Chains A and B, each alone.
Chain A
């Protein structure tokens, strides 16, 4: 009718945007919380989430429509990993020099020396549980967050981290043991 009427293409695109925003934006707080716990800084977490949401929008056509939350959180976690590799390479080299191989080694490292990423805002937090979670090595911290905070299933965590389900379980087991020991220490 009027010339201001949007074209079909434009309206389709607007609908895609609306659909995306309805599916994904309700989980923005979860996304920021996860990124903050992984990256250690609120400013970085917001940058990471912005990048992740745009990436999600780009790949929204591939989203099966199954569960938007684990899908978004997986993208946030992976964006976070590439973001940290890109922006904090100097810290990475330090740990790479140690040449450890097994998860057990990483756990030991996490107990004795805080990993670089825990030199973060989380260290300022007062609660024992905050400090215990912050002190976990990154690969243990992320499974705890995805499982206990975001309540993803093993299958969803395995998909997000691209690791076997058995590894999800073994990392959770290690992480819980570390938290248990640290919290007992804090109380005793």
Chain B
């Protein structure tokens, strides 16, 4: 009856979290008999769990929040029912009239428009924030690989964008891996390159046309945007402007040779 192979210390957390099947659990229990360290850890981690579940201070929703949410949802309903009202176009008119009134009021104050960030700058701000967030959490990379044939397929099924992953060889910008970010609420690939001690996050989204690289300095970060190869690219890094520009040259040169 020795079908149950012993499972080692690695399985401790899986066991504790109920992620092992019955056979595997039995295997781990066999391991516990001989591993004092795992017995100690298991007891500690169970105690910590109990303490978190019974002692950790909790917060909850205030009545005010519940009211605000219900009101906001009710308000959301108006645009949500718009497609249904297409069957009754006569409904559109009061809404259009209301919209026209709002427009007139808004246009009397041009600053409203001036303050409205363009889609482009929203995107730039979003990818910069995503890059910063990744740096903060120390979670720079989801898939660690210098092989573009590993990095590219990793994204399939996770995002609708098939990224152009270029191996820049010995140009000084090694491919480090990829990360899935969610700028503007949509999962997008970020390809991660090294630049000396710095990290470059390269974001891309499908776009037509060509545009020369434009460099911006935002909050101490270098942000370089350009178009080509069917994408609008944005590279974000704390490397300086000349370095990220050199990276762009190397990347664009390599991309031009790829199908």
Residues of A within 8 A of B (CB): 7-10, 12-14, 16-17, 20-21, 25, 28-29, 31-33, 36-37, 42, 45-46, 49-50, 53-55, 57-58, 78, 81-82, 84-86, 89, 91-93, 95-97, 99-103, 105-106, 109, 116, 122, 125, 127, 129-130, 133, 137-139, 144, 147-149, 153-154, 162-164, 169, 172-173, 176, 179-180, 183
Contacts and interface: CB of A to CB of B under 8 A. Distances in A.
Contacts of A9: 81, 84-85, 87-88
B51 A100 contact: no
Nearest to A177: B41
Nearest to A139: B137
Contacts of B118: none
Interface residues of B, number: 61
Contacts, number: 179
A129 B56 contact: yes
Contacts of A137: 137-138
B1 interface: no
Interface of B: 12-14, 17-19, 41, 44-45, 48-49, 51-53, 55-62, 64-66, 68-70, 72-74, 76-77, 80-81, 84-85, 87-88, 129-130, 132-133, 135-140, 142, 158, 180, 182, 185, 187, 197-199, 219-220, 238
A179 B220 contact: no
12 contacts: A12-B81, A21-B70, A28-B66, A81-B133, A96-B132, A102-B138, A129-B48, A138-B136, A144-B52, A169-B13, A179-B48, A180-B41
A56 B73 CA distance: 10
A17 to B, nearest CB: 6
A96 to B, nearest CB: 4
A85 B134 CA distance: 10
A127 B197 CA distance: 40
Contacts of B60: 28-29, 32-33
Given A89-B129, A164-B142, A16 B80 contact: yes
Nearest to B14: A169
B13 A50 contact: no
Contacts of B77: 13-14, 16-17
A89 B258 CA distance: 37
Nearest to B49: A148
Nearest to B83: A9
